[in-house]
């Protein structure tokens, strides 16, 4: 070895970094134990597992909300005898004298837990001008066959006969669908709508008030029978008249609610069928309207899909970013 080579070796040895004593001690311990491997949490390098996990979480939340919101339905019922709530003992009956014949409370039946629904429908029928009179007569026949009645009807006539008509019908709620099917078979159906309004709360409220008013009158009549002075008797008679007037008002309201739940309303509009040229023009405008409606429906579906896809994409991106950061930190920790 020459002198130059010897000097270069000394310079390289001087510049070579020396490990610390603690590092040498750790390395000696790892050599002695055979370099044991540490258990590491391996994260997937692909974002697909994160996307699947986010999708499963969202589906579980949607199913939970649907189950919690749809398990409290109750059966519906239309018509039937009124169910009057059991009245509470009023202050008047508690204050009645204990001597003599005691006033008996009116018997009451428990209020059944049924739904009271008011149903209605609207129907537009189109027929040729020469058949409008026949269709109008058939509408009345259908209502009679379904045990309903015509509340109001108007038929408009012109120079060539009938030009249209308006009918307001009442049929039992149980036969609403059958009646609509029969009416739809009389002429061309231009439009058909149905509505259902829950009137259970006002129905039960009026029934309870009516039961309490009847119990009050029964108690006052018992006190009147035991009155000992003319002044007391006159005061009781005045109160009985007031309670009787209240009962008549509540009875009228309750009867109206019963009819609303028992009978369905059908509004029928009868129009003259348009000619060929009008039908062609109407067909073009109808096709354009259908195209716009289809476009609006497609846009609504796209917005719903986007509303579901955006949270999924955001969850997937967050999962992939968290996995990447954790993987990078583990790599850095392994290097140091």
**264, pLDDT greater than 90:** yes
Highest mean pLDDT of the ranges 96-110, 160-174, 219-233: 219-233
Q: Say which range, 68-72, 91-95, 106-110, 262-266, has the weakest mean pLDDT.
A: 91-95
Reduced 3-state DSSP string for the chain: CCHHHHHHHHHHHHHCCCCCHHHHHHHHHHHHCCCCCCCCCCCCCCCHHHHHHHHHHHHHHHHHHHHHHCCCCCCEECCCCCCCCCCCCCHHHHCCCCCCCCCCCCCCCCCCCCEEEEEEEEEEEEECHHHHHHHHHHHHHHHHHCCCEEEEEEEEEECCEEEEEEEEEEEEHHHHHHHHHHHHCCCEEEEEEEEEEECHHHHHHHHHHHHHHHHHHHHHHHHHHCCCCHHHHHHHHHHHHHHHHHHHHHHHHHHHHHHHHHEEEEEEEEEECCCHHHHHHHHHHHHHHHHHHHHHHHHHHHHHHHHHHHHHHHHHHHHHHHHHHHHHHHHHHHHC
| 169-195 mean pLDDT | 92
Tell me what the mean pLDDT of segment 313-333 comes to: 81
What pLDDT is recorded for position 132?
Answer: 85
What mean pLDDT do residues 165-169 have?
Answer: 91
- pLDDT tens column, 267-277: 999 998 875 44
Please give the Cα distance from 219 to 211 (Å, whole number).
12
Quote the distance between the C-alpha of residue 186 and its chain's center.
34
- Average pLDDT of span 182-202: 91
Contact 273, 135 (CB under 8 A): no
Q: Decide if 198 contacts 211 (C-beta within 8 A).
A: no
């Amino acid at each position: 070895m020459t002198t130059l080579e010897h000097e270069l070796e000394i310079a390289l040895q001087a510049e070579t970094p020396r490990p610390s004593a603690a590092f040498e001690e750790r390395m000696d311990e790892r050599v002695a134990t055979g370099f044991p491997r540490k258990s590491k949490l391996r994260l997937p390098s692909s974002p697909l597992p994160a996307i699947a996990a986010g999708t499963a979480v969202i589906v579980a939340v949607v199913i939970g909300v649907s189950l919690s919101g749809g398990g409290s339905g109750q059966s519906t019922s239309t018509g039937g005898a009124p169910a009057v709530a059991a009245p509470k003992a009023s202050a008047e009956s508690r204050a009645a004298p204990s001597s003599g014949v005691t006033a008996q409370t009116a018997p009451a039946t428990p209020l059944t837990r049924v739904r009271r629904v008011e149903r209605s429908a609207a129907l537009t029928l189109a027929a040729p001008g020469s058949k409008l009179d026949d269709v109008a007569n058939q509408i009345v026949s259908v209502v009679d066959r379904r045990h309903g009645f015509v509340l109001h009807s108007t038929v408009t006539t012109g120079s060539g006969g009938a030009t249209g008509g308006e009918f307001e019908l009442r049929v039992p709620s149980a036969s609403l669908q059958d009646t609509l099917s029969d009416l739809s078979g009389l002429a061309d159906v231009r439009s058909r709508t149905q509505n259902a309004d829950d009137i259970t709360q006002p129905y039960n409220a009026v029934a309870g008030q009516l039961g309490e008013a009847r119990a009050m009158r029964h108690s006052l009549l018992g006190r009147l029978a035991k009155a000992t002075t003319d002044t007391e008797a006159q005061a009781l008679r005045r109160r009985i008249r007031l309670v009787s007037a209240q009962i008549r008002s509540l009875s009228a309201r309750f009867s109206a609610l019963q009819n609303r739940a028992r009978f369905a309303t059908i509004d029928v509009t009868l129009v003259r069928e348009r000619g060929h040229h009008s039908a062609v023009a109407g067909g073009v405008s109808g096709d354009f309207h259908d195209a716009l409606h289809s476009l609006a429906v497609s846009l609504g579906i796209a917005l719903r899909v986007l509303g579901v896809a955006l949270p999924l994409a955001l969850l997937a991106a967050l999962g992939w970013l968290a996995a990447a950061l954790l993987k990078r930190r583990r790599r850095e920790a392994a290097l140091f």
